[in-house]
Structure formats: C-alpha cells, structure tokens
Structure 1
Amino acid sequence: MNIIGIAACTAGIAHTYIAKEKLITAAKNAGHNIHIETQGTIGVQDEIPDELIKSADIVILAIDVKVSGRERFADKKIIEVPTEIAIKSPNKLIKKIEEAISQQSYR
C-alpha cells in the first residue's frame, strides 16, 4: 500500500516529528511505502511530491491544527487523527487503515 500524509501539532515541534517517525516505522514494518510531510514552526518539510500523491492509496493526516495544501488530496481517501494517536498507537492505526482499504476493494 502507498501511504502519504501530513503531521502537524499545535506547537509544530516535538509531536509533529515524533508522529512522523512513528508512522513511518509502523508502515514500513507492515510492508508499506510511506511519505510523511511535516508542517510546523519552521514551515513545510519533506513536501509530498505530486507523483506520490497520484499513486497514494490513502492519506493520513496526523494533525492538531489546520494544515496547508489539503486540497492536493481532494480525490483521495483521508484518515484524520490527532498526533497523539499516531504517537501512542501507530501500529493499530496502520492496521485499521489496512482493514479499511481491504473492505473498500471488495466493493
């Protein structure tokens, strides 16, 4: 599965980057491709390239604040959770996403 997303917390510092790392680790351990952009006090980092957006199966928004560029994902399935979920339960989140995608493919 190809996963893309954005991590952004209210301060735009610690939780943003912790959420990013936890999601990347959980997704890679489950055998998925993932790219997470961060938005915070120092701006946008690791911006998602257009080709990854086109090939994405799902978009994870691990956010506590409004993010810019959300319109890029207009035709994609989006899962939005607080950064706390991405930090505390990244493996469960990836598992739920897998289930949602597999159920969708059976329709």
Structure 2
Amino acid sequence: MKIVGVAACTVGIAHTYIAQEKLENAGKKAGHEIHIETQGTIGIENELTQKQIDEADIVILAADVKIAGRERFDGKRIIQVTTEIAVKSPNKLVEKAAEVVNQKK
C-alpha cells in the first residue's frame, strides 16, 4: 500500500515532526511505502510530488491547523486526525488506513 500525508501542528515545531517520524516508522514497519510532508514554522518540507499523490492509495492528514494545498488530495481517500493521534497511536492509524483501503477494493 502507498500512503502519503501531511503533518502540521498549531505551533509548527515539535508535534509536526514527531507525527511525521511516528507515521513513517509505523508505515515502514507494516511494509507500506509512506511519505509525509511537514508544514511548520519554516514552511513546507519533504513536499509531496504529484506522482506520489497520484499513486497513493490513501492520504493521512495529521493536522491541528488548516493545511496548505489540501486540494491536491481531491478525489483521494483521506483520513484526518489530530497530530496527537498520530503521535500516540501511529500503528493503529496505519492499520486503520489499510482497513479503509481494503474495504474499497
């Protein structure tokens, strides 16, 4: 499964990067390809390519604020959660993403 997503917390520092790291580790541990863009105080990092978005089976938005470029994900299956959920339960979140993708097949 291919997962893309965005992590963005209210301050744009700690939780943004913690959520990114936790989601990427959980995704890789489960055997998925995962790319998480961060949107924080220093702008957008690890910006997703259109190809990554197009090929993704699902999008995870771990955000406490409005994210820039949300329209890029129009037409994709999206799971939206707070950064706190991504930080505290990344494995369950990735499992849920897999369930959503498998239900749609």
**Which TM class, normalised by the smaller chain length?**
over 0.9
DSSP-derived class of the 2:87 partner: helix
- Give the C-alpha shift of residue 100 in structure 1: 1.2
2:32 alignment counterpart: 32
1:83 alignment counterpart: 83
- Give the C-alpha shift of residue 21 in structure 1: 0.1
2:7 alignment counterpart: 7
| 1:45 maps to 2:45 | yes
Consecutive unaligned residues in structure 2, runs of 5 or more: none
1:22 alignment counterpart: 22
TM-score, L = length of structure 2: 0.98
TM-score, L = length of structure 1: 0.97
User: What do you get for the CA RMSD once the two structures are aligned?
Assistant: 0.5
Consecutive unaligned residues in structure 1, runs of 5 or more: none
CA deviations over 1:32-63 (Å, ceiling 9, x no partner) = 00000000110000100111011000000000
**Percent of residue pairs bearing the same amino acid type:** 64
The ranges of structure 1 where at least 4 consecutive aligned residues each deviate by more than 6 angstroms after the TM superposition are: none
Q: Distance in 2 between matches of 1:99 and 1:79?
A: 11
